[in-house]
Structure 1
Amino acid sequence: MAKTIAVEYRVHDGPDALAHAAAEHFLEQAQKSVAAKGKARIAVSGGSTPKRTFELLANPKEKFLQAMPWEKLELYFVDERTVPPTDKDSNYRMTREAMLDKVPLKPEQVFRIKGELPPEEAAARYESTLRNQFKLEGAEVPRFDVLALGMGDDGHTASIFPHTAGIHELARLVYANQVPQKDTWRVTLTWPVIIQAGEVFFLIGGKDKADPLHRVLQGQYDPETLPSQLIQPKNGKLLFLLDKDAAALLPAPDASGKGKLEIQR
Structure 2
Amino acid sequence: MPRKTIADYLVYDTPQRLAHAAAEVFAKYAADGVAARGVARIAISGGSTPKRMLALLAEEPFRSQIDWERLRLYWVDERCVPADHADSNYRMTREQLLSKVPFAEENVFRMEGELNPEDAASRYEATLRNSFRLEGAEAPAFDLVLLGMGDDGHTASIFPNTSAIDAMGTLVAANHVPQKDSWRITLTWPVINHGRRVVFLVEGQAKAEVLREVLLGGYDPDRLPAQLIRPENGQIGLLLDAEAARRLPKSGKHGDAETGTLELTR
Fold match (TM-score > 0.5): yes
CA contact (8 A) 1:162 1:224 kept: yes
2:78 alignment counterpart: 80
Equivalents in 2 of 1:221, 1:172: separation in Å?
Answer: 23
The Cα of 1:137 is off from its aligned counterpart by 1.4
Between the aligned partners of 1:20 and 1:91, the Cα distance in structure 2 is: 20
Hey, what's the Cα distance between the residues in 1 that align with 2:253 and 2:73? 35
TM norm structure 1:
0.98
For the 8 Å contact 1:154–1:226, the answer to whether it is kept is yes
Structure 1 position 156, deviation (Å):
0.1
Deviation at 1:52, TM superposition (A): 0.1
**Cα distance, 1:240 vs. partner?**
0.3
Rounded to whole Å, the distance in 2 between the matches of 1:95 and 1:65 is: 15
Q: Following the alignment from structure 2 to structure 1, what is the Cα–Cα distance between the partners of residues 108 and 242?
A: 33
Instruction: Write the deviation string for residues 107-140 of structure 1: whole angstroms up to 9, x where unpaired.
Output: 0010000000010000010001111111111111
Q: Find the counterpart in structure 1 of residue 20 from structure 2.
A: 20
Amino acid at match of 2:265: Q
Q: Report the Cα offset of residue 254 of structure 1.
A: 1.1
- The Cα of 1:258 is off from its aligned counterpart by 1.4
Instruction: Provide Cα deviations, 1:215-264, integer angstroms capped at 9, x if missing partner.
Output: 00000100000000000000000000000000000002413311111111
| Aligned match of 1:259 | 260
Q: 1:225-236 alignment to 2 at 5 Å?
A: 225-236=223-234
Asked if residue 8 in structure 1 is aligned to residue 17 in structure 2, the reply is no
Out of 32-41 and 187-196, give the one that drifted further: 32-41
Count residues with an aligned counterpart. Answer: 263
Q: Which runs of 4+ in 1 moved over 2 A?
A: none
Which position in structure 1 is the counterpart of 2:236?
A: 238
* Between 250-259 and 23-32, the greater mean CA deviation after superposition: 250-259
Unaligned runs of 5+ in 2: none
Which residue of 175, 195, 210 corresponds with 2:193?
A: 195
SS at match of 2:179: helix
Q: Distance in 1 between matches of 2:251 and 2:63?
A: 31
Counterpart in 1 of 2:34? 34
Matched with 2:143 is 145
Q: How big is the alpha-carbon RMSD for the aligned residues of Structure 1 and Structure 2?
A: 0.7
Shift of 1:30: 1.0
TM-score scaled by length of structure 2: 0.98
Any idea what the Cα deviations from partners look like across 1:75-117, whole Å, max 9, x if unmatched?
0000000000000000000010010100111000100000000
The one-letter code matched in structure 1 to 2:107 is Q
